[in-house]
Amino acid sequence: MRISTTYSRAFARLTLGLLALLLLGSLSACKMPFTGQQSPVAPAHPVAPSSAGTCVALALPASGPYAPIGGKIRQGAQMAQKEMAANGVNMRLEIINTEAPDWLQKLKALPPSCTVVGGPLQASNYAQARNAGATAERAFFTFLPSLEQGDEGTRAWRFFPSPQDQIDALIGFASDGLSIRSYGAFYPADAYGARMTGLLEQTLYKRNMALQKASYNPGDPTSWSTAVAPLINAKTPEGSSTPVPQTAFEALFLPDSWKNMEMLTTSLLYNGEDRLVLLGTTLWEQGLSGKIVNTPEKYALAVFPAAWNPARAPRALQGPGSDFWTALGYDFARFAVSLGLNSRLSSPEVTARARRASQMVWGMAPITWDNAGVAHQNLFIFGVSSTGMVPVNLEEFRQTHSNVLQQSALRMQGLPPVDATGNPVTPGTGQQPTLQPIGTTPKPSYKLSLPSNI
């Protein structure tokens, strides 16, 4: 699904048939991805390999623009190969360059016992393999966010997070973690924004929750405050110039890149809204990973999903340069050996083996497969910090959420903010409350200006 540092808009459009690879970031928790805690699980017990070792193939780009990503996945697989060898488990690793015109012929030339294939990375390569009948001969676990309709769990399997995984993580955090039952979406009027918002709406419908939504022209930031106004429905009391929002939901989905968040939150503030839990996608990671955020307090209630968390990585992945892609290769190699395949079994049998192998300890967010062979990755939830991004602690977030709601309620009543002990903060004393919510300063003559990065 850069191919920049992690997910980007180009990557996200891969979900519509193109793969623009970005570096993801995040390790997962097992049941509550937003807690930052991973429950211990027993490693899978691989079927005893032959003396020559289990044969595993990787179908990756070794040249061209995607070569750096392919190289990282290969590096991670080789790390796992070395680790398993030290424990007496041999693995034969075959690398097929999908940029070569004869890559399918080279794959076909491998012995039938070299059954498990990791990759490819691009939807076009997968289509080539499918049309050539290669998916009927070997078990493909693709590094794609989605497969062709009806293929997942039958012709191939997914070993990668999907857009649905992102939506599930966000709703799990907001609804299950914060008891939020009302949602809005403010999305760019492009294919990615419409698709992600549609997935959110469908998922909420299954939970008997509705979605209020509005779109905006991504090419005209000056119009965004007007476009979001119907969602906020702000009223300005007589004699006041500060709008009071009448927002009918508690969480707002913003499926856009991080570089647009300053302008989007400014548009919300223009309408007086500073209380919402802001839900992003993995696109946000591109602009946050390893970056400095000058005003992180503005995003105290902003969260987004990701599949790699270096703080929770196993020892083998704690060296410099490790990231989601190396974790992907590392996990796949160990998973492939645990499958114990030396021939292409029926699809239900491959799925059954994948379900058993998924009990291993993961380097990235854990993946499970349902009975139909559809993959589900249990993504981490991250927040915004001064150094870019940080795993969210649910209890701390709940307290922050409560504080923001309290300060906003005081502001809307024309009362001063309070400190951590509940005492009013006197203007001009230099004191600040424990958490200063967005937009606590009244804006009698608010002038909308564009940030430099738009």
Torsion of CA 353, 38, 76, 98, to 10 degrees: 60
The Cβ of residue 59 has, within 10 Å, a number of other Cβ atoms equal to 28
**pLDDT (mean) for 145-168:** 97
Tokens, residue 209: 């929750």
Q: What percent of the chain has pLDDT over 70?
A: 79
Q: Which contiguous run of DSSP H or E holds residue 232?
A: helix 224-232
Q: Which contiguous run of DSSP H or E holds residue 279?
A: strand 277-279
Are β-strands 183-188 and 211-216 bridged in parallel, bridged antiparallel, or unpaired? parallel
Confidence at residue 449, expressed as pLDDT on a 0 to 100 scale: 29
φ, ψ of residue 390 in degrees (nearest 5): -150, 140
Comparing CA positions, the residue from 391, 245, 223 lying closest to residue 307 is 391
Tokens, residue 306: 């990701």
Q: Which contiguous run of DSSP H or E holds residue 384?
A: strand 380-385
Listed in order, strand segments (DSSP E) in 44-129 are 54-60, 91-97, 116-118
Confidence at residue 21, expressed as pLDDT on a 0 to 100 scale: 38
Give the whole-angstrom CA distance, residue 256 versus residue 278.
Answer: 12
Confidence at residue 8, expressed as pLDDT on a 0 to 100 scale: 43
The confidence band for 409, taking pLDDT boundaries of 50, 70 and 90, is confident
Task: With beta carbons less than 8 A apart as the criterion, state whether 195 and 202 touch.
Answer: no
Give the whole-angstrom CA distance, residue 159 versus residue 182.
Answer: 32
**pLDDT (mean) for 312-332:** 93
Comparing CA positions, the residue from 135, 167, 166 lying closest to residue 153 is 135
Confidence at residue 164, expressed as pLDDT on a 0 to 100 scale: 98
Amino acid 52 reads A
CB neighbour burial string for 196-228, b if at least 16 within 10 angstroms, e if fewer = bbbbbbebbeeeebebbbbbbebeebeebbebb
Confidence at residue 375, expressed as pLDDT on a 0 to 100 scale: 98
Task: With beta carbons less than 8 A apart as the criterion, state whether 311 and 388 touch.
Answer: no
Of residues 23 and 161, which shows the higher confidence score?
161
Tokens, residue 427: 């203007």
Entry field: residues in the chain? 454
Confidence at residue 429, expressed as pLDDT on a 0 to 100 scale: 46
Comparing CA positions, the residue from 189, 268, 257 lying closest to residue 448 is 268
Of 16-20, 182-186, 446-450, the poorest mean pLDDT is in 446-450
Q: Is the pLDDT of residue 444 over 50?
A: no
Of residues 311 and 377, which shows the higher confidence score?
377
Q: Which contiguous run of DSSP H or E holds residue 390?
A: strand 388-391
Of residues 156 and 28, which shows the higher confidence score?
156
The confidence band for 413, taking pLDDT boundaries of 50, 70 and 90, is low
**329-366: pLDDT as tens digits:** 999 999 999 999 999 999 999 999 999 999 999 999 99
Task: With beta carbons less than 8 A apart as the criterion, state whether 83 and 91 touch.
Answer: no
Of 58-72, 92-106, 232-246, the poorest mean pLDDT is in 232-246
Task: With beta carbons less than 8 A apart as the criterion, state whether 114 and 57 touch.
Answer: yes
The Cβ of residue 439 has, within 10 Å, a number of other Cβ atoms equal to 24
Give the whole-angstrom CA distance, residue 302 versus residue 390.
Answer: 11
**pLDDT (mean) for 194-199:** 98
Q: Which contiguous run of DSSP H or E holds residue 278?
A: strand 277-279
Confidence at residue 124, expressed as pLDDT on a 0 to 100 scale: 97
CA distances from 413 to 29, 249, 273, 406 (A): 40, 20, 14, 11
Contact partners, residue 349, CB within 8 Å, separation at least 6: none
Listed in order, strand segments (DSSP E) in 79-227 are 91-97, 116-118, 139-142, 157-158, 183-188, 211-216
Round to the nearest angstrom and report the end-to-end CA distance of the chain.
25
Average pLDDT, the chain: 83
